[in-house]
Structure 1
Amino acid sequence: MRHRHPDSPATEHLVIVGNGMAGHRLVEALVKQPGRPPRITVIGDERVPAYNRILLSPLLAGEMTHDALTLNGADWYAEHDIALVLGERVTDIDLQARRLTTDAGRTLDYDRLVLATGSRPAMPPIPGLDLDGVHAFRDLDDAAELIRFSRTRATGHGGRAVVIGGGLLGLEAAEGLRKRGLAVSLIQRDDRLMNRQLDVTAATLLQRELESRGLEVITEGHIAGFEDDGSGHVAAVCLEGGRRLAADCVVVAIGIAPNAELGRTAGLEVNRAVIVDETLTSSDPAIHALGECCEFQGTTYGLVEPIWRQVEVLAAHLAGEAVDGYVEKPCATKLKVSGVSLYAFGPTEPDADHEVLTYHDPQQGDYRRLLLRDGRIEGAVLYGDTAMGPWYFERSLAGTDLGPCRQALLLGAADAQLLLDSPEPQDSPLKEAA
């Protein structure tokens, strides 16, 4: 039950630096608060209002329009008495004066400041990284560049693209470009795709599916450098070992790095990102950090679930309410990669004490693998049919002993729950099926 904290008056002027998904979610939460700060200013360095970055992949694939990504237009901010500044980047924060400056020369005083500056693409130190035709895939401008390229260099005109990175973003960038008509090769440094979420079997199923669509997948690929065509444009990706992949376009999608430089320059405590406490407060009590640019107890963020929980805590705190602080919780990963549903949580590899249960239906393209310890689920990987994923995850969080329904665990949540709820052990035809 939330209540107003007597020692936490509502902020007079709140400035939010960053108009990405985290910053926008915070604004939406604040306007619902009775004690919202009376004056709110949002500053974003992109030229457009906040949009759903997760939908960049279907935009690239031609499955969605630009307008469908917008979360709220400029009119929405005005209707809620929120000042919106777009196309300006904050360059300096004066902690003593509580004043910030933008690259346009604008200065703003604040009572409270929230850094929601997000992250940038991680770019490895690869020779040739600065060549024309080498792209990241992180924002609308990146998507627009790739769409323009694909329109002029489709397969019929010899267009070839190489995507570096076998995680979610790399896979979706590769599929988007393939759907745009390019011949695409994807390079993954690890031995399998999505190695942080999938075991070998699920990753192999995913790779075969993508290859059946015409995507070339190269695992254990190590980049030696990018080749110049002689005019400053990329011509090829060269791998260690001598292999050369011709490329008119290269997309680097190997991960993200927190945008923490603004906080570091201002003098805040920063490690990989801006360090915050359980109220998302930095080392300066007037400054908070949120989302991909913050670090809590050594953890940085890239998934929306923990960031949304951070938003809830920070919105209440800024409105002068007392709530339980932010705490880390286990997360499950639910994804749809190029039309294939995936669900995973816990370790991807079993240890010596894990009991491993698997189900695989090659005809339907379904695969499930559970890791149990003393009858309790510690990890799961689901490929194809992921309907049971949330049931597994809930039982894992609860530490439920699933011994009574072990024989039905891979067949269906209803059957497993029936056995779990049964007061007496009973014979079941499911035992034979298992």
Structure 2
Amino acid sequence: MAITEIPTADKLITKHAEPVTQIKPSMVIIGNGMATGRLLDEIIKRTPHKYQITVIGKEHFGSYNRIMLSAVLAGDATIDSIMQKPLAWYKAHNINFLSGCVVTYINKEKKYVDLASDTQIHYDELIIATGSRTAKIPAKNQEIAGIFNFRNIADTEKIQAFAKQAGTSSKQAVVIGGGLLGLEAAYGLALSGVEVTLIHRNKWLLNRQLDKVAGVMLQSIMEQKNIKFALGHEVAAFENIKGQSSTTQPLANSAEQTEELSGVTLTNGEFISAQMAVIATGITPNKELAEISNIDFNRAILVNDYMQTSDTSISALGECCEHNQATFGLVDPIWEQCITLAERLCNNVEKPFKNAPVPTKLKVSGVQLFSAGDVEVSDDSQCFTLLDKKALIYRKIIVKQGQVSGVVLFGDVSSGMAYFTLMQQKVIVTPMLPELLIGEEFVTIVEDEKKVCIA
């Protein structure tokens, strides 16, 4: 077995009678997604020379903006344009970047990681940032060629290449999942000339962020972009070119892909013709490395307030970790995790991570959306709405005990953060709700009483 040893702080290099030289402690980061990219920025900002850093990435690219993959799929951006840290960046910052490598095991006692290439990397501080993968769906016959996930550059390139085969005018695709990722994948394919049907098990789009009114408005706009919808149903089976479905359920994109996709059968029996399927149904944390290495886990890798795992020399952050029974997919809390971890490792400062509520700000195919807190009204709350169908503007404020408990905005989101601030500060808003619903510019806050008044 080849051994690549990053010298640790307690190991000294002696050469003949020359003076003893102390070596930097080694920091090894497993994973090279957006969380790692942000963490590296936070470390360099604080102590750029404290550690000898090694980053181990599965992909052959530097850190890039995964949020922009939909723009790449649509042809509105290139791989180079979304690259945040090209390979030259790591070299310029004296970071050892091992691309195309997979860690198979962590030896906690001897402090090294095993790579699939029979190489060992020693560490003083280890950070697991392995992210997540596309969640599985229970549909049958997932070994058929033409079924793709949508999580990384390789997925995007495969989808683009497949869409171009035999001319896009003859291509039909189904996109499974009505969240942001699914919507953007559908939009990107539609822009490239593919006939797209989006399948979502709920009755309206973005059901976690929008209510039915806003979801239907979004659907109407997406339909104008040549996207069809099959809502309230799931895919029961993928069908091959002969119309045969299998009773097995292997992973999508498995090695044995002998049949070509002809379409999907839904749980209501409906058949939708398609030569390509894109699965964008949500994410599953990549916790397997913790499992085999005897690091505590639940739905994801368990961390404390300072991003430490059950082993004090090993930390985790991003979509692969779980803190106080919460897992993460949004950028804001992950950025806060990076700050917490960098403060501890660089400055020995214990700045606890707090998973504070954050609003959801989305831009789906040019449509501005904003939501925070409750989406649906409950028995103990009131609902105030404004709807302009012609201008495609919708505002909904949910009030509970006189305070804002939820906001849904569609089309015009200019007052979104003001509403969120009122919600966070628990301001009594009932006296001035008509004006508040029109926009923040019509009201002002009396700080002493924490109430809203006419501006």
What's the TM-score, normalizing by structure 2? Answer: 0.88
In structure 1, the residue matched to 2:86 is 73
In structure 1, what is the Cα distance between the partners aligned to 2:377 and 2:24? 49
The counterpart of 2:191, out of the listed 179, 189, 196, is 179
* Partner residue, 1:116: 129
Aligned partner of 2:215: which letter? A
Structure 1 letter corresponding to 2:57 = G
Residue aligning to 2:271: 244
Distance 1:389 1:11 in 2: 47
| Aligned residue among 362, 387, 391 for 1:335 | 362
Contact 1:14-1:37 at 8 Å conserved across structures: no
Cα drift, residue 38 of structure 1: 2.3
Equivalent residue number for residue 13 of structure 2 = none
**Structure 2 unmatched ranges of 5 or more:** 1-22, 243-257
Pairing partner for 1:294 from 288, 311, 321: 321
* Aligned pair partner of 1:140 in 153, 159, 168: 153
For the aligned residue pairs, the C-alpha RMSD in angstroms reads 1.9
CA gap 1:427/1:270 in 2 versus in 1, 3 angstroms: closer
Once the two structures are TM-superposed, the CA of residue 125 in structure 1 deviates from its matched residue by: 2.6
Partner of 1:78, secondary structure, is helix
Identity %: 36
Which runs of structure 2 are paired with 1:38-187 in the superposition (5 Å)?
A: 38-156=51-169, 158-187=170-199
Give the superposition deviation at 1:34.
Answer: 3.0
SS at match of 1:410: helix
Aligned to 1:363: 390
Distance in 1 (CA, whole Å) between partners of 2:130 and 2:27 is 15
Given the alignment, which residue of 8, 16, 19 partners 2:32? 19
The letter of the residue matching 1:160 is Q
Contact 2:187 2:365 in 1 (8 A): yes
Q: Of residues 303, 306, 310 in structure 1, which corresponds to 2:337? A: 310
8 Å contact from structure 1 (residues 120, 259) kept in 2? yes
Equivalenced residue count is: 417
The 2-side partners of 1:150 and 1:168 are apart by 21
Residues 245-289 of structure 1 show CA distances to partners (whole Å, capped at 9, x for unaligned) of 011000011000000000110000011110000000000111000
Q: Structure 1 length as normaliser, TM-score?
A: 0.93
3-state SS in 1 of match to 2:443: helix
Moved over 6 A (4+): 425-428
SS state of the match for residue 64, structure 2? coil
CA distance in 2, matches of 1:27, 1:93: 22
Runs of 5+ in structure 1 lacking a partner? 1-9
| Preserved CA contact (<8 Å) 1:154 1:181 | no
Rate the CA distance shift 1:427–1:75 in 2: closer, same or farther, 3 A: closer
Whole-Å Cα distance in 2 between the matches of residues 333 and 274 of structure 1? 25
Separation of aligned partners in 1, 2:86 and 2:75: 22
The question of whether the paired residues in 2 share the 8 Å contact of 1:178 and 1:215 is answered with yes
- The Cα shift of 1:362 comes to 1.1
Q: Which has the higher contact order (CA 8 A, sep 6+)?
A: 1
Matched residue SS, 1:71: strand
> Given the alignment of the two structures, is residue 396 of structure 1 paired with residue 409 of structure 2, yes or no?
no
